[in-house]
Amino acid sequence: MPFPTAPASYRPSPDLLRGRTVLVTGAGDGIGRAAALAYAAHGATVILLGRTESKLEQVYDRIEAAGGPKPALVTLDLETASEDNVIQLAAGLAQEFPHLDGLLHNASVLGERRPIESASYASWLQVMQVNVNAQFLLTRHLLPLLQAAPAASIIFTSSGVGRTGKAYWGAYAVSKFATEGFMQVLASELENTSRVRVNSLNPGPTNTGMRRAAYPAERPTDNPAPGDIMPTYLFLMGDDSANITGQAFTAHP
């Protein structure tokens, strides 16, 4: 069964996210960077979260230079962040912002591409920490701010190998199955009790550092650039998807 995408004719309004505050993890590079720029270009105040400050600063500068709303910058390594760190982050954001209108869980690591029988436990733990446990901590402690919004959207980033298992994708694939499960559990909990909607999005093959590392023999430009797949990222973040929750999307058919 094909996964839904934004309607082919979808043209987001330039004001789609005006007045909204959206947090993007892994905002310094790849798809997260493109999403941060796209959300700001459509009016959002973007909270740029990532582990490499210099990359976040470049995104910050691009948004400011384009005349977008002044972003916020949070340097946090999701591999080592403790629950206390995330509680402090949530408390700090609550002082600055009355509510959070969107959360894009985008940061992930690829880990090892090898058979389970020779996989390292250390790498397994690292992938689960960044791709699953950190998503739990952020979701758990940012939910009050999301629930304070008139309408909020949480987007979990999935992958093709998080929907059909594939040899040698190891912890990464398992982490993405966990992400899909997390999305379904949370969407079901919130469906009739809150204005927060929750969906997952598989970007599909996209020309980023992660894709180039996973497929070194591929010609990178055969895949779309991160900026090319933004319509579905915008569709799911803004009110055009207001009644959609618990769905697994893909960014290009």
Q: Which residues are designated catalytic?
A: 172
DSSP element (H, E) containing 103: strand 102-105
User: How far is Cα of residue 187 from the mean position of the Cα atoms in its chain?
Assistant: 16
Site string for ligand NDP, 146-185 (x = CB under 6 A): -----------x-x--------------------------
Please identify, using beta-carbon distances, which residue of 57 and 79 lies nearer to ligand NDP: 79
CA of 216: how far to CAs of 44, 66, 167, in Å?
35, 34, 17
Site string for ligand NDP, 47-86 (x = CB under 6 A): ---xxx--x---------------------xxx-------
Stretch that binds ligand NDP, among 39-47, 86-94, 96-104, 106-114 (CB under 6 A): 106-114
The token pair that represents 121 in the structure block: 């436990």
Phi, psi angles (nearest 5°) of residue 146:
-70, -40
Interface residue with ligand NDP, options 17, 23, 26, 146 (CB under 6 A): 26
- Residues sharing a CB contact under 8 Å with residue 156, sequence separation 6 or more, in sequence order: 105, 135, 179, 180, 182, 183, 198, 199, 200, 201
230 is an interface residue for ligand NDP by CB under 6 A: no
- Contacts with ligand NDP by CB under 6 A lie at 26, 28-32, 50-52, 55, 77-79, 106-109, 130, 157, 159, 202-203, 205-206, 208-211
